[in-house]
Structure 1
Amino acid sequence: MSNDHSSASYIHMVQHLIEKCLIYKMTKEECMEALSKHANIKPVITATG
Structure 2
Amino acid sequence: MSADHSSASYIHLVQHLIEKCLIFQMTKEECMEALSKHANIKPIITSTG
- Which TM-score band applies after superposition, normalised by the shorter structure? over 0.9
Q: CA RMSD in A?
A: 1.0
Identity %: 88
TM-score (norm 2): 0.96
Tell me the amino acid that sits aligned with residue 27 of structure 1: T
Equivalent residue, structure 2, for 1:26: 26
Moved segments of 4+, more than 2 Å: none
Structure 1 alignment gaps of length 5 or more: none
What secondary structure is seen at the aligned counterpart in 2 of 1:20?
helix
TM-score (norm 1): 0.96
Q: Kindly tell me the number of residue pairs found equivalent between the two proteins.
A: 49
SS in 1 for 2:41: coil
In 2, distance between residues paired with 1:48 and 1:19? 15
Structure 2 unaligned residues grouped into runs of 5+: none
Give the Cα separation in 2 of the matches to 1:48 and 1:7.
17
How far is 1:4 from its partner? Answer: 0.1
